[in-house]
Amino acid sequence: MDFLNPSKYAYLPIAEWIEKYVKEWLFEQRPLFKKISVPIDNVLNSLDFFFNFVPLPLVIIFFTFAAYKTNSLKFAIFTFLSLIFIDLLDIWEETMTTMAMIITAVIFCCFIGIPLGILSSRSNFFEASLRPALDVMQTIPSFVYLIPVVMLFGVGLTPGVVAIIIFALPPVIRLTNLGLRQVSKGVIDAGKALGCNKLTILLKIELPLALKSILAGVNQTLMLSLSMAVIAALIGAGGLGLTVYVALGRLDIGQAFVGGLGIVLIAIIFDRITQKLVK
C-alpha cells in the first residue's frame, strides 16, 4: 500500500456535504437574514442620499476643515485639492456612494465589534471561543464568503456592505479586547475602592484608558473596508469599486486607474484624520 498517498484509498466528500446540507440551510434562513439587513439598508441609503444631496462645496469644506483641525494646513490643502481632483475626474457620485458604504460598514463594525471586544476582555473562555472565528474571517479568501453572502442577502449595494462588515470586523474586536486588558489593575482597584460599580468603572475608567487602542482598531477597520470595496463590486455593490470592476471587464486600463486613484485619495484622507484622532 502507498501510505504516502492516502487519497488513493480514501476520500472525504466535504464539498458534497457542504453543497447538500449547508446550501439547503442557507436558503431556508434567507428570509431571516433579509430582515437582519434592513437596518444596514436604511443607514446605507440615508447616507448615500445625504452625501449625494449635499452640495459639493460643502462636502469639500467639511473634509478640509476636519483635515486642518486634526492634522495641519498642509494636509488640509492636500485634502482640498484631492477632492477637487476627484470631481474633475468625473467620479464624484461614485466616490460619495463609496463613502456611504464605508461609513455604514464602520458604524456597524463598531456597533458589533466593541461590545464583543468588551466581552472578550471579561472572559478568557469567550475570547478563546471567538478567536478561531476571527482567524477564519481574517485569513479566508474574501471571494469564498461572497458566496454565502449572495445566498443569504442576494446581490446589490447592501449585500456588498455586509461583505465589507464581515471582512473588516476582526480588528476592532481584537484591539478593543487588547486595550481593555492592558488597563492597569491598580486603576481599576482604585475605582472599586471609591465605590464605583462595574458599569461605572467600564465607562469612566477602562474605556477612556483603552480609547487609543479602540480607535486604532477603528482605523484598521476603515482601511480594510476601503480595500474590500472593489471586491464587493462583484456582488453588485456600487461606487468606485464598480467603476474599477467594469473597467477591468472591458480592459479599460485608464478608467480602472481613475477608479483606483479615487479610492487611494479618500483612503489617505480617512487614514490621516483617524490616525490623528488616535493620537
Mean pLDDT of 131-135: 88
* Domain limits, the chain: 15-53+89-278
Task: Provide the whole-model pTM.
Answer: 0.85
Q: What is the mean predicted confidence (pLDDT) over 10-36?
A: 75
Q: Quick one: pLDDT band at residue 173, thresholds 50, 70, 90? A: very high
pLDDT interval class at 81 (50, 70, 90): very high
CATH number, domain 15-53+89-278: 1.10.3720.10
Q: Which three cell numbers stand for residue 242?
A: 464598480
- 4 band by pLDDT with thresholds 50, 70 and 90: low
Averaged pLDDT for residues 196-213: 86
